[in-house]
């Protein structure tokens, strides 16, 4: 249908673009975030209705059916997913977006006579394919379907160089000739590049990669805007590309890493693997009752929640324990590492779900000076974010990451499932420290036992 005149079409796309800007702006503050997201969704709805009313389209029933299928697939998953699995889902949604952009570009190749436009086609295909394959690997790593340790094989850097050179060659032929065969080769090489780029990334750095691939998909969408001559795609994609890049940098610096170091660190070799053998040195383990006594008679307790807490769905129990301790006059705060959980800000989402008030959450810079006058640091299912190796051993994959300095506290209690190392795959010296005690078990079970024991003190 072509009900809308081009000027109105452009105007509605402008409305949608402004909605997206307001959405990103709103998402930057807790007060306005939800409204911001709703504005973004409204903008998207305006844009989709506009395209149906303005472009000359065939196959409308089939297109509407495809949209219905996509909605039917996405909504139940988005509504039911556990908060702990949020990073996987974001990565998944990002990957399919990248895939869609690559497919759109492939299909437009036949319509693009101009070699500048074909350059945009090549860019969209390559970046979209990298984002799709890379996101698939991050989902695999986060679901632990594949190893969270950096995966490397001998000669990998050389293979990567060959793949990139091949992709550039194929891309060059596509620009010059518009050949579908070369376009197919480009797509395959793009997928290979995505795999090779993300496989060597260690588990601890996966969140940064998700954010980076998010920015990549944004750029692919922006380039598809040039391919289709659609300003909305260009603006929306560029917005996401730019904001995603900034967000990636902010997160990387919260982890004390450079983005380039994360992406290519494993290629430079040596440093990230190794040092993972479990030592059989003794640790001091304890009972729930002893931990309850330690906590119940402390003046000040800092709880450090980690991903293990989330996996065990223990966020509600830990909130109850904090309440019980507060009722006994113990000063309780939660120390939130910026990358606690599996994604920056993930732990804030999980604790918000359990109704822990903002006021008792402390960020890293705020809480670190307070550990020295803390009686007990209770580390629940966290490991890498308190690992002193980040400060003391330059060879370690987490070296340079700011940590919560629980080692400064009078005593440290770890609730852990096993001696298994954290997501980064390295051992934690702190577990063998004389002031550390461990309570083994599922985080939720241990917390329930400790909570029960605190209540009868």
Partner 1 sequence: MDAVTLLTVVVLAVFVGFEVVSKVTSKLHTPLMSGANAIHGIILVGAVIVAGQADDPWLLAVALLAVVLATVNLVGGFVVTDRMLEMFGPRKTARPGGSAGAGTGRTEEEGQ
| Residues tagged active-site | 384
**Residue 36 interacting with partner 1 (CB under 8 A):** yes
73 binds partner 1 (CB under 8 A): yes
- 241 lies in the binding site for partner 1 (CB under 8 A): yes
Q: Are 285 and 438 in contact (CB under 8 A)?
A: yes
Indicate whether 52 belongs to the interface with partner 1 (CB under 8 A): yes
Q: Which stretch binds partner 1 (CB under 8 A): 192-200, 265-273, 313-321, 420-428?
A: 313-321
Which range binds partner 1 by CB under 8 A, 155-163, 216-224, 263-271, 409-417?
Answer: 216-224
15 part of the interface to partner 1, by CB under 8 A: no
Told to check if 356 binds partner 1 by CB under 8 A, we report: yes
Binding flag, residue 181, partner 1 (CB under 8 A): no
Q: Does 69 bind partner 1 (CB under 8 A)?
A: yes
**Cβ closest to partner 1, residue 86 vs residue 163:** 86
**Of 3, 6, 7, 31, the one binding partner 1 by CB under 8 A:** 31
Q: How many residues does this entry show for the chain?
A: 457
Interface with partner 1 includes 75 (CB under 8 A)?
A: yes
Contact with partner 1 (CB under 8 A) among 136, 183, 343, 401: 343
Residue listed under structure tokens 């307790």: 301
- Candidates 163, 167, 170, 235; binder of partner 1 (CB under 8 A) is 235
332 vs 386 by CB, closer to partner 1: 332
Beta carbon nearer to partner 1, 210 or 426: 210
**CA of 78: how far to CAs of 96, 101, 314, in Å?**
14, 21, 22
Q: To the nearest whole angstrom, how small is the minimum distance from the Cβ of residue 51 to partner 1?
A: 5
Question: Segment 317-336, which members bind partner 1 (CB under 8 A)?
Answer: 318-320, 322-323, 326, 332, 334, 336
Sign (positive or negative) of CA dihedral 391, 392, 397, 399: positive
Interacting residues with partner 1 between 398 and 457 (CB under 8 A): none
Tell me which residues in 362-381 interact with partner 1 (CB under 8 A): 363
Q: Is 81 in the site for partner 1 (CB under 8 A)?
A: yes
Site mask, partner 1, residues 110-129, x = CB under 8 A?
-x----x-------------
Least separation, in Å, of the C-beta of 137 and partner 1?
17
- Which CB sits closer to partner 1, 96 or 152? 96
> Contact with partner 1 (CB under 8 A): which of 115, 143, 287, 355?
355
Of 271-300, binders to partner 1 (CB under 8 A) are none
Segment near partner 1 (CB under 8 A); pick from 93-101, 146-154, 366-374, 400-408: 93-101
Binding status of residue 396 toward partner 1 by CB under 8 A:
no
- For residue 62, state whether it binds partner 1 (rule: CB under 8 A): yes
Task: Convert the chain into a string of H (helix), E (strand) and C (coil).
Answer: CCCCCHHHHHHHHHHHHHHHHHHHHHCCCCCCHHHHHHHHHHHHHHHHHHHHHHCCCCCHHHHHHHHHHHHHHHHHHHHHCCHHHHHHHHHHHHHHHHHHHHHHHHHHHHHCCCHHHHHHHHHHHHHHHHHHHHHHHHHHHHCCCCCCCCCCCCCHHHHHHHHHHHHHHHHHHHHHHCCHHHHHHHHHHHHHHHHHHHCCCCHHHHHHHHHHHHHHHHHHHHHHHHHHCCHHHHHHHHHHHHHHHHHHHHHHHHCCCCHHHHHHHHHHCCCCCCCCCCCCCCCCECCHHHHHHHHHCCCEEEEEECHHHHHCCCHHHHHHHHHHHHHCCCEEEEEECCCCCCCCCHHHHHHHHCCCCHHHEEEHHHHHHHHHHCCEEEEECCCHHHCCHHHHCCCCCCCCCCCCCHHHCCEEEEEECCCCCCCCCCCCHHHHCCCEEEEECCHHHHHHHHHHHHHCC
Q: Decide: is 221 part of the binding site for partner 1 (CB under 8 A).
A: yes
Among residues 33, 161, 278, 457, the one that binds partner 1 under rule CB under 8 A? 33
Do 237 and 24 form a contact (C-beta atoms < 8 A)? no
How many other CB atoms sit within 10 Å of the CB of residue 53? 15
Return d(Cα 323, Cα 320) in angstroms, integer. Answer: 5
Binding part of the chain for partner 1, among 140-148, 155-163, 340-348, 395-403 by CB under 8 A, reads: 340-348
- Residue 195 Cβ vs partner 1, minimum distance, rounded to whole Å: 19
Q: How far is the CB of 75 from partner 1 (least distance, A)?
A: 6
82: contact with partner 1 by CB under 8 A = no
């Amino acid at each position: 249908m072509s009900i809308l005149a081009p000027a109105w079409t452009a105007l509605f796309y402008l409305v949608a673009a402004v909605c997206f800007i307001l959405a990103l702006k709103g998402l930057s503050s807790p007060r306005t975030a939800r409204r911001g997201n709703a504005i973004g969704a409204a903008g998207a709805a305006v844009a989709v209705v506009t395209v149906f009313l303005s472009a000359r389209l065939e196959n409308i029933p089939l297109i509407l059916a495809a949209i219905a299928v996509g909605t039917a697939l996405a909504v139940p998953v988005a509504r039911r997913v556990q908060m702990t699995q949020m990073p996987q889902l974001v990565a998944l949604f990002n990957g399919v977006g990248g895939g869609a952009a690559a497919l759109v570009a492939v299909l437009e190749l036949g319509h693009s006579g101009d070699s500048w436009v074909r350059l945009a086609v090549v860019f969209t295909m390559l970046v979209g394919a990298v984002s799709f394959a890379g996101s698939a690997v991050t989902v695999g790593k986060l679901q632990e379907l594949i190893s969270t340790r950096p995966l490397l094989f001998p000669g990998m850097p050389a293979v990567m160089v060959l793949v990139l050179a091949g992709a550039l060659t194929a891309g060059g032929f596509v620009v010059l000739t518009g050949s579908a065969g070369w376009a197919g080769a480009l797509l395959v090489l793009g997928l290979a590049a995505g795999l090779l780029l993300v496989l060597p990334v260690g588990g601890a750095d996966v969140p940064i990669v998700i954010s980076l691939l998010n920015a990549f998909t944004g750029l692919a969408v922006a380039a598809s805007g040039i391919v289709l001559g659609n300003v909305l795609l260009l603006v929306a994609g560029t917005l996401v590309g730019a904001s995603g890049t900034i967000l990636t940098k902010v997160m990387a610096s919260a982890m004390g890493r450079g983005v380039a170091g994360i992406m290519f660190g494993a290629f430079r070799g040596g440093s990230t693997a190794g040092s993972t053998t479990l030592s059989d040195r003794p640790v001091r383990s304890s009972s729930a009752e002893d931990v309850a006594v330690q906590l119940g008679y402390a003046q000040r307790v800092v709880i450090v929640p980690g991903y293990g807490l989330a996996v065990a769905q223990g966020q509600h129990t830990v909130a109850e324990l904090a309440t019980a301790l507060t009722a006994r006059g113990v000063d309780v705060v939660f120390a939130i590492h910026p990358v606690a959980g599996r994604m920056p800000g993930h732990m804030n989402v999980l604790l918000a779900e359990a109704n822990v008030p903002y006021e008792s959450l402390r960020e890293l810079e705020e809480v670190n000076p307070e550990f020295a006058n803390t009686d007990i640091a209770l580390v629940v299912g966290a490991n890498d974010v308190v690992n002193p190796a980040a400060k003391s051993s330059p060879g370690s994959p987490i070296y340079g990451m700011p940590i919560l300095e629980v080692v400064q506290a009078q005593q440290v209690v770890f609730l852990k499932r096993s001696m298994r190392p954290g997501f980064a795959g390295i051992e934690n010296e702190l577990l063998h420290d004389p002031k550390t005690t461990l309570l083994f078990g599922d985080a939720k079970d241990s917390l329930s036992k400790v909570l029960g024991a605190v209540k009868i003190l």
